[in-house]
Amino acid sequence: MIKRFIIFSLSFLFVLSSFAQNIKFEHYNDNDGLSHNSVRHVVQDKSGFLWIGTFSGLNRFDGYEFQSYLSSSEGNNKLNDNDITALELDEKERNIWIGTRKGLTLFDCDTQKFTTFLKDENNPNSLQDEEIRSIYVDNFDRVWVGTKDNGVFLFYADEERFEKVNLPNFNYVKEIFEDSEGHIWIGSYGTASIAKINLDSVGNIQQISTYSLTIPDSIETNPYVYFIYEDAKNDIFVGTRKGLYKLDKRLNKFENLYIENKEIRESLGPYFLSVVQGPDGKYWVGTLGGLIVCDGLEAISEGDFKRYYSVLTDQTSLVDNLVSALYFDASGILWIGTEDGLDKYDPYENQFNLNKDISEYIGNQAPRIRGFSKTYTDEIIVATRHNGLFISKEDRFLPLEIDQIDIASIYSPDGKVFYCGLWNGKILIYDFEKKTSKEVYIGFEESPIVTFENLGNNKLVVGSFGEGALILDTENITASTQQPKLLVGSEINEIIKGEDDVIWFATETGAVKYNAKNGAQTIYKSSLDTEKGLAHDNVSDIVFDKSGKLWAATRSGICYFDKEKNDFYPLKQPEELAGKWVTDLLVDTNGDLWLNVNNNSVARVNVSSLDYNIYHVNSGNRLDYFSSRGFYKFRDSNIYLGGKNGVIYFSPYTIKENKLSPEPIITEIKIQNEILVPGMEINKEIPLKEDFNQIKSIDLNYNNRNFSLEFSSPSYANEKLNKFEYQLEGFDKKWISTNSNSRTVQYTNLFPGDYVFKIKSCNSDGHWSPIVSYKIKIERPFWLTYQALFLVVLFLGLVLYFVRRDFKNRMRLKQELVTEKVNRERDIKLNNEKLRFFTNISHELRTPLTLIIGPVKQLIEESKEYSSDYQKSRYHLIHQNASRLLNLVNQVLDFRKAQTGELKLKVSSTDILQYTQNTFDSFKEFAYNKEIRLNFNSENEVLFGWIDRDKYDKILYNLLSNAIKFTNKYGHVDLFVRLKSDSSDYLVVEVSDDGIGIPQKSQEKIFKRFYQATNSKENNTGSGIGLSLVKALVDLHKGTISVQSTPNKGSVFSFEIPISRELYSKNEVFEFVTNIEEQEQIPKVPLKKTTTNTDIKEKILVVEDNTELRKYLIDYLSNYYKVYEAENGEEGLQICRQVKPILCVADVMMPVKNGIEFCEELKNDEFISHIPVILLTALSENEDKVKGYNVGADGYLVKPFDPSLLKSIMVNIIKSRLELKTKFSDDADSEIGLLTHSPVDEV
């Protein structure tokens, strides 16, 4: 008890020392962006911005952010000095006059330009002192400037001229003031004190009166003056460093309002630094010792005032005691300039009072408040956890002496006996009159008792958090545990009595309606259907309004009970409250529903109209049943609720609404992330020449169409709850809502055109401002103007014209191209048909040529003995031209194969010089007849290499033939053979002549098919395929060919082919062909005389589909053999099986069964497979020969052929068979026939 008394006594002394500290201040300092914490001056412009002058810089404040203006800012547009000594707003001209230690500065709010006036020794009309101490703009729009050393000056803006006011001894002018009658008051110190200047109707000085200020108990006079002020009674007051003075109008002198209480006087300075009258008529005075609030300035000397000062342990107290500046803004917010920052006093938020008395008794800790009740003497009882009960005494809360201090809830039906629910499940019964208490066990084990409800007839319903509820008889409270429990196991938050013995329970798992008569209960829970049912199962409170409607508070909003539908329905309107976590409910005397909203708010809802107000009370959060709780209506005066730092109380009937909702303002414009200020150039454009909030219009070029706008509202009352809605007409389809945390909107890539940015704001009390509109025009780039459109149309017209013309030309060219293509395809088709025709004719010519060359050779042989020289020459002429015709036929066939890709390369090792010499020699007679000199040259004596002899021979033949053909008489044709100079793997052959030459334009075309040079047609009857064939053969031989020619001087054809075996693939090498010099000469068999003895003739078979050739062969061979004939391979096989000839001669190309099939079938027949077969064909390629030999042919002759050669081959084959027969036979009469190789032998 002694310890409690000591604590109580100390706390009481502390309470006395902290008298009247019951309001809250909000602080701003350099951490929030303020340029310096020493705040000297505060003014507000018409747009609503606050301008704050500090020891180091000027600041503009929009309620959320500070924008600083410093002498160290970039560029030339800046303050001349940072130390702000005076600040005056010229509302009419929208200018701010700034006094500094280095000149007078004018800030134009529209253009945001600074202009500084300095002392100029050469200009008598300039300001004569750089250090400014005071500024004032009078009713005549003249600027009065007080300096440090040179008195007062008047500035005439039209003339830009300063004129000194004649005030002797008024050197240091700290204050200039104009009273209600238009008199100018000047404040100085030391050599002079107060001067009153009377002006006439046009502003001329008529009279000057001076006053001296005496200091009580001192011989000193004229103390330092801070302010001159006129109160509501038109009395003039002067604040100085020696106290507050008042003008005695009767005596026409100033009297010091002396504060007799020395302690109070010294605590105030007595420095009276600033003064202002609030909207409620009270005067606020800034001193060296904090703020003084009084009904009249005269009452200060009598001690009749409230004082607010800095308390280190109270974060909501004044930040510093030296109050230099006081200013009420348009909404009634008081701004306080101190030496340690800017403070704000919000009268709307301060309607909610916070009492921290309980903390003073518990070591300055935050109390855990659990509920409220009242005594029969109308005193408030506060229940706390761990700290017992507290009672209100004259605006203070003092502790009550009880035995139990861990309280969970409190209730009293009469204000005399209090039932306190304890955390251990028991009840503490406290008798207020007798000051006695006792603890009673009622049946709950460990669950805290959190709520009580009076049922009448001395019955209480007691609810626990975890063990349900029970009904308690207050007349006979015993410790019996046999009392029946209700809602066993439920966690109950609140209980309320309804009609007809119905009891409603708010629990953690829903709302429960319990019928006390029959024990029936109905549980109401949340539903998946959001239109009905509880908004959340966690119901924290439940209450009836004046009309009898039941309301429930949940974590997701409030709900009302519909009796007819027997269900709860969530309240959807107002939207600002829908879904909010509401912890407590109560109904005031007016019938309004009050909501304690989690996260520092309370709300008032008119249940009929659903009008609402939301107030910020800094009450904290109630997250679980351990948190602070309590929402209590005390009579018809106040509502009490448990806050996180103490007891919050307010009067719901006297709350003032902040109905002022000023127009929102644009605080910042950014273009391409650069802050735009008036006169600033961006992308070669100055978009803004004046303040955007003033002109409300801006034109942007196309490059500046990406911009952002930051906005604010000059409603500084609880500005965090301000809301905004905006819309950019022409872009946004609907209004967009946002809050104070998101005040920037960005637009990108806007299409050129006219837009209107509309914005409105809502203050913290829900009042909306008028809509403010800003016109924004995005200029069209040149390419989107009508001129550009005309140029584009013109350009498109020209393009269309030229495209159409080009299209027509293209169509014409396309038609010509199609025609040319058709003609070309026709020519190609014609050429192919021509070539095919030539090829077919060539094949057909081979057989007649055989019938010509064969008999001619026979005649040549026979003419050696029986014919004349003339006949011999004729036979040779026939043979020569027939051979030439055969060469032409072969050339046509090779050309056809080259075109179709059927021509294959087969190289073999060859004596190139000897082979070339043989081909060269075949042209000597041709050259001799044309009297052309033919020369063969080579750098090498011996030259071996790998070439395709047939292709090489045809290349040389065509080049030499052309050279001789197009060379005139007595000309020269040279053949030169050598190895390539830089590689022995390549052969170079040159054929040169001094003939007619080739025109330059024809040299690129002479290797094309069927092309003939223009100058060669009169001397040439050829087909134009010779050089094309040469080019194809050289390409096939992996070589190159070129020509150099000059008309009438001759030509040089040069081709280069590889002769190294490594440069050819395996399939291109033919190993078994021997050099022409090593070929065994087929012996010529002398012609035999005709004999009639057929018994000695061997049987042979001739298989040929051409009747003439077949008859010729029969005629030629019948002199030596008995010849059988067949027209096709099928007949030939039948005859072979019948007569078994000693040899067969068969054509390859025959109907029914060709020669290859005939030979293959014969060699596979075991009875006739020994018969040799010689194949005759017009197919002269090695591949054709190999194909014949592969099926078993013993000989292969190409048409046209020499009959004697055929005969020699036949003789050799028959002879070899007979020799083999003799060698392998022991008996002359052996039945073994002729031996021959047969595929059957391989089986």
DSSP code at position 397? E
Mean pLDDT, the chain, as a whole number?
A: 85
How far apart are alpha carbons 589 and 545 in whole angstroms?
10
Single-letter code of the amino acid located at 736:
I
> How far, in whole angstroms, is CA 922 from its chain's centroid?
84
CB crowding 651-665: b at 16 or more within 10 Å, else e = ebeeeeebebbbbbb
How far apart are alpha carbons 228 and 747 in whole angstroms?
51
Structure tokens at 422: 């304890």
At residue 1221, the pLDDT reads: 78
Please answer whether residues 1058 and 988 qualify as being in contact, where contact means their C-beta atoms are separated by less than 8 angstroms. Answer: no
> 305 — phi, psi (to 5°)?
-160, 165
Angle between helices 912-921 and 949-965 (to 10 degrees): 40
Q: What is the mean pLDDT of residues 98-114?
A: 93
Please answer whether residues 923 and 964 qualify as being in contact, where contact means their C-beta atoms are separated by less than 8 angstroms. Answer: yes
Say whether 1094-1242 and 665-784 share the same fold.
Answer: no
Structure tokens at 951: 């292709």
Closest C-alpha among 390, 392, 387, 393 to residue 368: 387
- The residue count of the chain comes to 1243
Is the pLDDT reported for residue 834 higher than 80?
Answer: no
Is the pLDDT reported for residue 10 higher than 70?
Answer: no
Please answer whether residues 135 and 107 qualify as being in contact, where contact means their C-beta atoms are separated by less than 8 angstroms. Answer: no
Residue keyed to tokens 């190789």: 1237
Q: Coil, strand or helix: which one is 14? A: helix
- End-to-end C-alpha distance for the chain, whole angstroms: 136
How far apart are alpha carbons 956 and 924 in whole angstroms?
14
Cβ partners under 8 Å of residue 848, min gap 6: none
Enumerate the β-bridge partners of residue 675.
670
**197-201, 474-478, 971-975, 1081-1085: lowest mean pLDDT where?**
1081-1085
pTM: 0.63
Distances (CA, A) of 501 to 518, 595, 759, 798, 1101: 10, 27, 55, 96, 139
At residue 136, the pLDDT reads: 96
665-784 classified as CATH 2.30.110.10: no
**124-133, 671-680, 1221-1230: lowest mean pLDDT where?**
1221-1230
At residue 846, the pLDDT reads: 66
How far apart are alpha carbons 646 and 631 in whole angstroms?
13
How far apart are alpha carbons 697 and 678 in whole angstroms?
12
At residue 212, the pLDDT reads: 95
Most confident of 35-39, 445-449, 918-922: 35-39
| Maximal C-alpha separation, the chain | 190
Higher-scoring residue by pLDDT: 1011, 422: 422
Please answer whether residues 286 and 336 qualify as being in contact, where contact means their C-beta atoms are separated by less than 8 angstroms. Answer: yes
Q: What is the pLDDT of residues 570-587, one digit of tens each?
A: 998 888 888 888 989 999
Other CB atoms closer than 10 Å to residue 879's CB: what's the count? 18
How far apart are alpha carbons 527 and 506 in whole angstroms?
17
Q: What angle do CA 1067, 1071, 1076 make, to 5 degrees?
A: 130
At residue 1237, the pLDDT reads: 46
How far apart are alpha carbons 346 and 28 in whole angstroms?
14
Q: Which CATH superfamily is domain 1094-1242 in?
A: Response regulator (3.40.50.2300)
Please answer whether residues 1209 and 1197 qualify as being in contact, where contact means their C-beta atoms are separated by less than 8 angstroms. Answer: yes
Residue keyed to tokens 């190159």: 1040
Higher-scoring residue by pLDDT: 756, 646: 756
Structure tokens at 1192: 């078993």
Query: Which parts of 1102-1232 fold into alpha helices (H)?
Result: 1107-1117, 1129-1139, 1155-1163, 1182-1190, 1203-1223
Is the pLDDT reported for residue 993 higher than 50?
Answer: yes
Please answer whether residues 410 and 373 qualify as being in contact, where contact means their C-beta atoms are separated by less than 8 angstroms. Answer: yes
Enumerate the β-bridge partners of residue 334.
328, 345
How far apart are alpha carbons 990 and 1052 in whole angstroms?
7
Q: What would be the CATH architecture of the domain defined by 38-285+292-306?
A: 7 Propeller (2.130)
Please answer whether residues 210 and 191 qualify as being in contact, where contact means their C-beta atoms are separated by less than 8 angstroms. Answer: no
How do strand 396-399 and strand 290-294 relate by DSSP bridges? unpaired
How do strand 175-178 and strand 417-422 relate by DSSP bridges? unpaired
Sheet containing strand 205-211, strands side by side: 175-178, 184-187, 194-199, 205-211
How do strand 459-464 and strand 469-473 relate by DSSP bridges? antiparallel
Please answer whether residues 104 and 136 qualify as being in contact, where contact means their C-beta atoms are separated by less than 8 angstroms. Answer: no
Cβ partners under 8 Å of residue 713, min gap 6: 48, 63, 661, 662, 664, 665, 719, 722, 724, 761, 763, 769
Is the pLDDT reported for residue 1216 higher than 90?
Answer: no
Give the percent of the chain with pLDDT over 90. 40
Other CB atoms closer than 10 Å to residue 1141's CB: what's the count? 22
Cβ partners under 8 Å of residue 769, min gap 6: 661, 662, 663, 664, 713, 715, 760, 761, 762, 763
Closest C-alpha among 811, 668, 649 to residue 746: 668
CA atoms within 13 A on the CB side of 531: 1
Closest C-alpha among 93, 191, 82 to residue 138: 93
Structure tokens at 1170: 């020994």
Is the pLDDT reported for residue 62 higher than 50?
Answer: yes
Closest C-alpha among 659, 40, 26 to residue 322: 40
Cβ partners under 8 Å of residue 1010, min gap 6: 831, 1023, 1024, 1025, 1028
What is the SS3 string spanning 499-531?
Answer: CCCEEEEEECCEEEEEECCCCCEEEECECCCCC
How do strand 933-938 and strand 972-980 relate by DSSP bridges? parallel
Distances (CA, A) of 970 to 18, 87, 447, 927, 1172: 144, 123, 141, 10, 54
Q: In the chain, what are the domain boundaries?
A: 38-285+292-306, 354-441, 665-784, 904-1078, 1094-1242
How far apart are alpha carbons 1158 and 526 in whole angstroms?
104
Please answer whether residues 1174 and 1195 qualify as being in contact, where contact means their C-beta atoms are separated by less than 8 angstroms. Answer: yes
At residue 1173, the pLDDT reads: 93
How far apart are alpha carbons 680 and 1197 in whole angstroms?
104
**277-291, 397-411, 436-450, 1059-1073: lowest mean pLDDT where?**
1059-1073
Most confident of 39-43, 368-372, 636-640: 39-43
Segments of 1127-1194 assigned E as strands = 1143-1147, 1173-1177
At residue 1022, the pLDDT reads: 54
Is the pLDDT reported for residue 599 higher than 90?
Answer: no
Residue keyed to tokens 């009247």: 20
Q: What is the pLDDT of residues 140-193, one digit of tens each?
A: 889 999 999 999 999 988 888 999 999 999 999 999 999 999 999 999 999 999
Structure tokens at 357: 């008395």
Segments of 179-265 assigned E as strands = 184-187, 194-199, 205-211, 225-230, 236-240, 243-248, 253-256
**110-119, 945-954, 1020-1029: lowest mean pLDDT where?**
1020-1029
At residue 18, the pLDDT reads: 39
How far apart are alpha carbons 1148 and 1176 in whole angstroms?
6
CB crowding 39-49: b at 16 or more within 10 Å, else e = bbbbbbbebbb
At residue 1183, the pLDDT reads: 76
**229-238, 252-261, 863-872: lowest mean pLDDT where?**
863-872
Q: What is the pLDDT of residues 1159-1172, one digit of tens each?
A: 999 989 888 888 99
Closest C-alpha among 1029, 999, 1025 to residue 1010: 1025
Higher-scoring residue by pLDDT: 879, 256: 256
904-1078 classified as CATH 3.30.70.3400: no
What stretch of H or E contains 1032?
helix 1026-1036
Q: Coil, strand or helix: which one is 1063? A: helix
Closest C-alpha among 1156, 1136, 1138 to residue 1146: 1156
